[in-house]
Structure 1
Amino acid sequence: MEGDRHKLRFSPLRAPTRSSRTSLSNTVSCCYCDYKISALNTPLYHFGRKQAKLLRIWFSIGVGFSLTALLGVTLILVWEFGNVLHLFHGSSDLSSSLLFGFSPQVYGSRLSVSDAGYLLLSTLISVSVHEFGHSIAAASEGIPTEYIAIFLAVLFPGALVALSYELLEELQPFAALRVYCAGVWHNAVCCAVCALVLFLLPLILSPFYIHGESPMVLDVPPTSPLSGYLSPGDVIVSLDGKRIHNEQDWMEITTVLIDEQILQSSNLSKSFEGLAIVHRMKGYCVPTTVIEESKEMLFIENQSACPDDLTGFVAVQCFNSSKSDIVSNEDGISRRQRWHCLNARDVVKLNKCGDGWVTEITKGSSRLCSQEEYCVSPVPLPGSIWVEITFASPYSPECLQLGRNSFPASGASDISEHKCGGTFVFVGDLISMAHSVRLTAYQPRWGFSFSAHLPNILEKSLMCTFHVSLTLALLNSLPVHFCLLCM
């Protein structure tokens, strides 16, 4: 009987004999170890018996939910099986992404140490909620808990509750079903609580944090292409003139800019009318004298010859398209274009032109330069995208002296005026740039410190617990089918 007590089982309910209550021994092996706890047996049993009437109603609701979850899991399995056989047309990743909180195709997907910590914590919480549900449901039916065990099978943590199999057999079928479905029901309630807290988190933290105004940088790794430009505590105000409020805006606008750049590159390769090109792109008004003094560059087959500290621009005089710097021969086989090498840091400080700038202020209207200016646009190179990033440093000593911890929607001009931030140009792979920094939608109201990471920690913990608990609820609803067959 002692050997049977330590036999590994993967069911959430385990039924050893009554003698196990008097002698508990922990199991340690190369692939499995556990730790048995009996100190909670009496408190859980007394609570279950004292609130038996209410708990039976509570867990009866859980039976209904478990049957619904069983139907949902069955439909998911049928859908996935149909996708394997190519019977359905749709995204096979949709159910995994929505229900289990992950997608197989994630850019640079890897599990960091902090992610492993969140996963371990959420697993312990979800499993504990699951097993306490079984224990309390059994107590409400008059079945005491023999012990609760926490185990580690290979690298997977878990827990189980040991109940008397003989007493379970004596229960009415629906009463036994309440015990078996209790874990699934408690995991579902855990999901609902996590979702509610996530929804109310901005309101709960509002006395201490500003939410949804602009994303704040939490970390910039040394390998990030934005290292040296952004620092922890900086706030990203806009990306290419488009206002950003949170991490979702950051990723969505990045995707939009990539699509726009692909379209611009296609237009540039097909069109050689100066005004037609610049008016579909984002440009800057550069004085004619600067253009005349700049170094000219011959641009052939998507290759430039600008020095490292300069960037290639194509220039068009707004009021005289005949002065366009773009030249092409009649046969269209060998196309040559003359460009100008300019300092990008100086150019971005000038007025903008072209209708490619879609901001809250311009509403997409086209802007032209004066007769003494050229509208210049950066040359789109293969694999590289030109974007302007406007940021603020509200926790820098200069801004703290001004007492400016937030910025209005006017953004860049207001920030530059008060020297609390600035604008810089990024040229490169926009996807790697967007994923290389860690952002949060919360800004501390009083200085940047470790407290700035607290909302991010809470959000990740709640989201991970939600997904793990949902996964446990769905997976553990499958054995309910066998319980129904035995009724």
Structure 2
Amino acid sequence: MFIRLVLQLVIFWFTVYVINYTLLRFPNTKRSYIRILRSLGCHISIGNIGFYSTSFNRLFYQIGRKKPRLWKIWFTIGIFVAFITAIFSCSILVFLPLKYIYDRQQPILFTRQNLTDQNIPIENDRDKLWIQPIIPGVNVPLEELGHFFLALLVCTIFHELGHAIAASVEQVRVNGCGYFLFILYPGAYVDLNEEQIQMITAYRQLRIYCAGVFHNMVLVVVAVIFLLIQPFILRHFYIETASVARISKDSPIYSLLPKHSTIQDIDGCIVRTSNDWYQCLRSISDRHVLDSTGYCLTQAEIQLLSSYTEFNQTSNYDCCQNLSQKNYCFFYHSKQNDSQNGACMEARSVTNHPRCLLQSDCSRQGSDVSCVHPFSSDNITRLIRIVHSQGPAILFVGSINEIYRTISIQSYKAKYSFISTIFITDIPLFFQYVAAFSFALAFFNAVPCYALDGQYILLAFIEHLSPSLYRRRHKNLVYSLIFCTTLLIVNISLAFARYFL
């Protein structure tokens, strides 16, 4: 999926470059093409398309001049929020490399066998990283690209809107604003009059510089509040159930499990909500293969269904030996032979029988009934039966992590057919992206680094505290910016290394 996305991006940008070069190359098209670009405020370069406009300048001015006193109070609060965010961000950036060094020095306390017993946590350690790259096609499903782009664009525009309104409140002219697409990531910026900024006091500068971080944090709060109150709103229009919200195209059961179908049962674990679904997955993962769900079969049924039987089977031997995709190896203990036996049987026929966990669960059905369990030599591959509302039960063979990674479950389903599902799928997903991206923008922009808001916030703050200190210790401030910039680069590099290596 990721390679296909990269190829599509290469083709797209190559096409844009060729068309742009061709139109500029020939005299017949060059003049009219340049006129169109200028009218749109568009500029095109390799991997970048940008637009610049002055159309919103009057709007920024009008917003900033309405109730300026309230706006000043608002952006003064933003200074304190930005400083709290900056302290938090710098603390995290210092803590994470130290934590990484500490973790690397810890002895390995668990053997490989112990680690494989915890299937989901081991394979999803990268999801626990505090800072991780967001790359479509890698950790952002391609079907969520619309939510991804829209949320990122909203967050960047809201960030720059804060700067623009704050500048208008402080009577600093907004020259214009721009929007761009860099390779795959959209963004926005505002062009402020630097001379007018330098003429106002440092405290008024802080209101402008901190406005972007502040607005992003406000957006985070709004998104979180929406996600918290959403379940209470949905209860009036939706019923509580475990409905399939998304299934990735690379899922082994993509063609078998319809979207919006209701999950009823997974491997004997009753599912009513999305929380039940994930708890069941965790429960199945935590159980050893010897404790997995089995099925009660008589000795006659075992003999009838078996295409191959292995007596005294060892724990690392698959009795089916890839005889058929429909068959699966099951182990059991018979009354005649107390040792572990293996039988290669058709999986669907076996899973239609009553479930069991222990041999005693089958004893009330007869003395010759055995509890047969699916076989796994690595304790990772499982045979899992998923019961849903729109078809026969699905038999999945593989890692629990494949189900966990490729299937998303939501807890609500529309009561009436005319109610759209976007309120339980697309809109909450959009707000999740908004919360994540907006917090990331606030987090990184608050750090005193070159080319980020934190650089200007730090300089304006020092100048506000002591103008003489700002002039005398300007070199030390440069060293501080270099240190923080290096610290940020180290953390980003570690994030990429720990995610991909």
Q: Same fold (TM over 0.5)?
A: yes
Matched, 1:77 2:93: yes
Q: Output the CA distance in 2 between the equivalents of 1:96 and 1:291.
A: 43
Counterpart of 2:437 in structure 1: which amino acid?
V
Matched residue, 2:319:
304
Please, which runs of 5 or more residues in structure 2 have no aligned partner? 1-38, 107-120, 448-453, 465-501
Equivalenced residue count is 393
Shift of 1:195: 0.9
The 1:43–1:441 alpha-carbon spacing in structure 2 relative to 1, beyond 3 Å, is same
Deviations 1:41-82 (A, max 9, x none): 223212212210111111111100111011001101111231
Give the conservation status (yes or no) of the 8 Å contact 1:41–1:147.
yes
Aligned ranges 1:29-108 → 2 under 5 Å? 29-30=45-46, 32-86=48-102, 102=132
Percent identical = 23
Task: Identify the match of residue 200 of structure 1 among 229, 254, 269.
Answer: 229
Q: Output the CA distance in 1 between the equivalents of 2:176 and 2:69.
A: 24
Counterpart of 1:150 in structure 2: which amino acid?
Y
Matched residue, 1:163:
192
Deviations 1:355-406 (A, max 9, x none): 49xxxxxxxx95643334412212413253122322223xxxxxxxxxxxxx
Q: Output the CA distance in 2 between the equivalents of 1:89 and 1:59.
A: 45
Matched residue, 1:378:
373
Matched residue, 2:351:
348
Q: Output the CA distance in 2 between the equivalents of 1:282 and 1:174.
A: 66
Shift of 1:251: 4.1
The 1:314–1:98 alpha-carbon spacing in structure 2 relative to 1, beyond 3 Å, is closer
SS in 2 for 1:147: strand
Matched residue, 2:15:
none
Matched residue, 1:444:
414
Q: Output the CA distance in 1 between the equivalents of 2:389 and 2:461.
A: 61
Give the conservation status (yes or no) of the 8 Å contact 1:216–1:439.
yes
Q: Output the CA distance in 2 between the equivalents of 1:43 and 1:465.
A: 24
Q: Output the CA distance in 2 between the equivalents of 1:116 and 1:325.
A: 57
Counterpart of 1:386 in structure 2: which amino acid?
L
Shift of 1:481: 2.0
Give the conservation status (yes or no) of the 8 Å contact 2:333–2:341.
no
Shift of 1:259: 2.9
Task: Identify the match of residue 431 of structure 1 among 388, 401, 406.
Answer: 401
SS in 1 for 2:251: coil
Matched, 1:459 2:428: yes
The 1:378–1:447 alpha-carbon spacing in structure 2 relative to 1, beyond 3 Å, is farther
Q: Which moved more, 1:235-244 or 1:296-305?
A: 296-305
Counterpart of 1:485 in structure 2: which amino acid?
I
Q: Output the CA distance in 1 between the equivalents of 2:127 and 2:392.
A: 41
Task: Identify the match of residue 486 of structure 1 among 453, 463, 477.
Answer: 463
Give the conservation status (yes or no) of the 8 Å contact 1:353–1:375.
no
Deviations 1:107-144 (A, max 9, x none): x9454433333332122101111111111112222223
Give the conservation status (yes or no) of the 8 Å contact 1:238–1:244.
yes
Counterpart of 2:436 in structure 1: which amino acid?
H
The 1:369–1:315 alpha-carbon spacing in structure 2 relative to 1, beyond 3 Å, is farther
Matched residue, 1:8:
none
Q: Output the CA distance in 2 between the equivalents of 1:377 and 1:140.
A: 75
Task: Identify the match of residue 213 of structure 2 among 184, 188, 197.
Answer: 184
Aligned ranges 1:185-264 → 2 under 5 Å? 185-211=214-240, 213-216=241-244, 218-219=246-247, 221=249, 224-227=251-254, 229-247=256-274, 249-262=276-289, 264=290
Largest Rg, 1 or 2: 1
SS in 2 for 1:174: helix
Q: Output the CA distance in 1 between the equivalents of 2:375 and 2:103.
A: 43
Deviations 1:191-215 (A, max 9, x none): 111111111222333343334x213
Q: Output the CA distance in 2 between the equivalents of 1:82 and 1:150.
A: 38
Q: Output the CA distance in 2 between the equivalents of 1:39 and 1:56.
A: 24
Give the conservation status (yes or no) of the 8 Å contact 1:310–1:342.
yes
Give the conservation status (yes or no) of the 8 Å contact 1:386–1:428.
yes
Shift of 1:292: 5.5
Q: Output the CA distance in 1 between the equivalents of 2:197 and 2:428.
A: 40
Task: Identify the match of residue 290 of structure 1 among 275, 282, 301.
Answer: 301
Counterpart of 1:430 in structure 2: which amino acid?
I
Shift of 1:190: 0.6
The 1:42–1:474 alpha-carbon spacing in structure 2 relative to 1, beyond 3 Å, is same
The 1:155–1:255 alpha-carbon spacing in structure 2 relative to 1, beyond 3 Å, is same
The 1:281–1:190 alpha-carbon spacing in structure 2 relative to 1, beyond 3 Å, is closer
Task: Identify the match of residue 387 of structure 1 among 369, 384, 387.
Answer: 384
Q: Output the CA distance in 2 between the equivalents of 1:25 and 1:313.
A: 68
Please, which runs of 5 or more residues in structure 1 have no aligned partner? 1-22, 265-279, 318-322, 328-336, 357-364, 394-420
Give the conservation status (yes or no) of the 8 Å contact 1:297–1:304.
yes
SS in 1 for 2:102: coil
Per the normalisation by structure 2, the TM-score is: 0.68
Structure that is richer in helix per residue: 2
The 1:151–1:342 alpha-carbon spacing in structure 2 relative to 1, beyond 3 Å, is closer
Q: Output the CA distance in 2 between the equivalents of 1:381 and 1:28.
A: 56
**CA RMSD of the aligned region, Å?**
3.6
The 1:290–1:96 alpha-carbon spacing in structure 2 relative to 1, beyond 3 Å, is closer
Matched residue, 2:147:
118
Give the conservation status (yes or no) of the 8 Å contact 1:315–1:325.
no
Counterpart of 1:79 in structure 2: which amino acid?
F
SS in 2 for 1:199: helix
Counterpart of 1:123 in structure 2: which amino acid?
L
Give the conservation status (yes or no) of the 8 Å contact 1:99–1:471.
no
Shift of 1:443: 1.5
Shift of 1:177: 0.8
SS in 2 for 1:34: strand
Aligned ranges 1:269-284 → 2 under 5 Å? 280=291, 282-284=293-295
Q: Output the CA distance in 2 between the equivalents of 1:164 and 1:124.
A: 24
SS in 1 for 2:287: helix
Deviations 1:205-241 (A, max 9, x none): 3343334x213254463x5332454223321112122
Give the conservation status (yes or no) of the 8 Å contact 2:318–2:375.
no
Q: Output the CA distance in 2 between the equivalents of 1:43 and 1:432.
A: 50
Q: Output the CA distance in 2 between the equivalents of 1:391 and 1:154.
A: 41
Give the conservation status (yes or no) of the 8 Å contact 1:354–1:368.
no
Q: Output the CA distance in 1 between the equivalents of 2:46 and 2:304.
A: 75
SS in 1 for 2:288: helix
Q: Output the CA distance in 1 between the equivalents of 2:426 and 2:462.
A: 44
Counterpart of 1:392 in structure 2: which amino acid?
S
